[in-house]
Chain A
Amino acid sequence: MSLLSIKDLKVSFKTRRGDVEAVRGVSLDVAKGDVLGIVGESGSGKSVTSYALMRLLESNGRITGGALSYGGIDLRTVRESAMRDLRGREFSMIFQNPRSALNPIRKVGHQVEDVLRRHSRATRSTARREAIRALEAVRIRDAEARYNAYPFELSGGMCQRIVIALALACDPKLLIADEPTTGLDITTQKTVMDLIADLIAERGMSAIVITHDLGLAAQYCDRIAVMKDGEVVEEGSAERLFSAPRNAYTRKLVDATPRAGASVRSLLPAELRTPAPVLEPTRAPLLEVRDLVKTYQGKSGPVHAVKGISFSVGKGQSVGLVGESGCGKSTTSSILVRLADPTSGEILFNGKDLAKTPARDFARDPRRPKIQMVFQDATDSFNPRHTARQSIGEPLARLTGLPAGQRRDRIGELADLVGLPRPLLDRFPHQLSGGQKARVGIARAIAVDPEFLILDEPTAALDVSIQAIVLNLLVDLRAKLGMSYLFVSHDLHVVRLLCDHVIVMRDGEIVEEGPADQVMETPAHPYTQELLAAAPAPPVLAEPASSAAE
């Protein structure tokens, strides 16, 4: 008998433009000890489904149909007071952003105590001991000391452990993890997911893991349900979904998931797989970085963000810069794009030192158009008061001096080049989707014909199918315009798709460097090996369709 059964669940939200059906008839079963993965892209209704069964929907959301039953209890009709007892004790949830799931002004130990005492798992006198035990259960070292920490004093991975401790404090029988590793580094993601998997096995719990990452779900779940537009389009074991997806959307999702051995074109649906253009990188160096050092003055002494790194990027070459948060890759890219000054070191661009011009004055430097950047967060990188047309036109107006008429034509050409429908040019950023914003960001960066383009995790916030399209667009543009790329990312699999050469950074130093295939196939440094091992590995599959297209 299944522990949780969802039958034909329908959820709708009241909005300004009428009712929106977010979940349209979802049926799922979770048996005791079963780990179910729900995979889908943004807006697929995967989170709403779980919030509905916890009865934590926002006030404008309503369950409009279907049945929810947990161990014989009808969750739709049970009273709110009884529901409060069930949450935490019978089923509980790990939230997406650990930092916002914790109360910032309360010691984490006290937050664990609150849960324990709410469910009468501890009394005033035993609370502290029980809380420490709960922290130890999620493998927090030195739990006594961590008990007194505030969330801001802990790293992201540690915060997520606390959230897991909160969720598991009262030994629930069903655990719901909603994107439990979003925003965490890839090695931290692995530790957190391994921990969750261990705890589930140890306690014989059932679990629902909600994620956008098919590879992650495949590695940790027994069964996967793929959701799209509020419906489950396919359900089955991970191997079956990867080897023989029955649904076209599952096929597309499987294809778009970056994995070992895939080419950038094979991420696309089969009918779009045209041969990828090849741009032979020349030996002539475009950019040479020599002994770049950046030291900040921190509160507790100097912080060495970049410790004397050297590398070069050839004309037409695409170099990947890989590392986890805090490794200095963002500092390096903002120095190279001349938004920040290095403490010391040279940046030779076509043989001339860029670092001689301070970042403050670089806006008026004749080399400004030659070095451009595509930003990570597409929402944050657009002026909310400017339409897409104004955003793309800004560098043209400031750097090229084109008259208004020609500028208009050029903006149109750029929109065509990046595949942005021209009517969308008059929209404001908040009226565009994530993929459309990514296109506008790329159009803006290539507007002034740069020779060197820095791509700062341009696909980090995108769904995998959109990521596949944007990566392919970047490959095409490089071949067409002959640009050099520096692709900054935390994801080795994505970097390998786009780059000829890979640099791995850690703690402000380059630990490994070499041709992409060599670094990926035979990593020399233990850290690179660790990074590669941490990436979720989807089951290897035979790809008859894609190998033919390549």
Chain B
Amino acid sequence: MSDLATSTTTQTDGTLAHVAYVLRSNPVTLLAFAMFAVLLVAAILGPALVPYDPMASNAALALQPPSLDHWFGTDNLGRDVFSRVIVATRLDLAISVAAVALSFLIGSVLGSIAGYWGGWIDTVLNRLFDTIMAFPLFVLAMGIVAALGNTIENIVYATAVINIPFYARLVRAEVNIRRDAGFAQAAKLAGNSDIRVLALHIFPNALPPMMVQVSLNLGWAILNAAGLSFIGLGVRPPTAEWGILVAEGANFIVSGEWWLAIFPGLALMFAVFTFNLLGDGLRDIVDPRQRS
């Protein structure tokens, strides 16, 4: 009762200050956000920043090793590898973000329903998730592509479907332990219907662990997208995409032109590493208990 000192900042100020606090207190998080910023700049401004047209071939300069003119060298058609790697960022991020957003959305809804109402819905949904989890991504993707055509959207759908169970199970567990919590009952006493209690009171409390999942998942999704295009599903040449760049470069590793595969591979690693690091920081930001 004695401690009356307090902040009177408004909600928005509080959030910004809190983000700043999280970044300051953890250097790893700061590094992760800086790396994420690099990725974002490459994705948004990439095509405007690169020194060469990523699609322009120049037979005279084919298979040049890295130099001051061409930092990452050139490929078998004389295209600048650096430009292609940077430009590819946008497509790879778009595919993975779209896939993760989709599975986050569907997984949250299904998981919330299963966790809150339980009963036979829960049982049915859980068996469904088990089935999906037993499905290899590549087999599913091939099936979808065979049935619906080889487009980028279909690759996004395949990746999204595969990831749904991870979100759904996490949300289900988080919702389930809070279903009968005092604050959920209090929300009902305050005149909230079941759906409002679930959506506005219980679900937001599942966000902190979800953020870790989202960020790890973004990394996997990028790897998956690259893997699918590596085997020729989804994105097709000559579009610049990390998986394709690695696939094309793989043909030349034996003959000594290592830069074709190494640099897109490193870009891929950089992106996955960034998202893996980002998770804990994102969780701290959405968790109000970290504020003090």
Contacts and interface: CB of A to CB of B under 8 A. Distances in A.
B182 A384 contact: no
Given A383-B205, A423-B6, 7 more contacts: A339-B188, A380-B183, A384-B288, A394-B186, A394-B187, A395-B191, A424-B4
Contacts of A395: 189-191
Contacts of A337: 189
Interface string A310-344: 00000000000000000000000010010100000
Contact of A375 (B3, B185, B289): B185
A363 interface: yes
9 contacts: A363-B188, A364-B191, A385-B204, A398-B191, A423-B6, A426-B7, A427-B6, A428-B291, A430-B292
Contact of B186 (A362, A421, A444): A444
A445 B186 CA distance: 9
Contacts of B289: 384, 428, 430
A442 interface: no
A334 B185 CA distance: 9
Interface of B: 1, 3-4, 6-9, 181-183, 185-194, 201, 204-205, 288-289, 291-292
A529 interface: no
Interface residues of A, number: 38
A435 interface: yes
Interface string A428-440: 1011010110000
B181 A394 contact: no
B6 A363 contact: no
A424 B6 contact: yes
A377 interface: yes
Contacts of A436: 1
A382 B1 contact: no
B8 A423 contact: yes
Nearest to A380: B182
Interface string A385-423: 100000100110011000000000000000000000101
A383 B201 contact: yes
Interface in A54-113: none
4 closest A-B pairs by CB: A381-B182, A395-B190, A398-B191, A380-B182
Contact of B191 (A363, A377, A431): A363
B191 A381 contact: no
Contacts of A427: 6
Contacts of A375: 182, 185-186
B210 to A, nearest CB: 13
A426 B194 contact: no
A364 B194 CA distance: 11
A470 to B, nearest CB: 11
Contacts of B6: 423-424, 426-427
A339 B187 contact: no
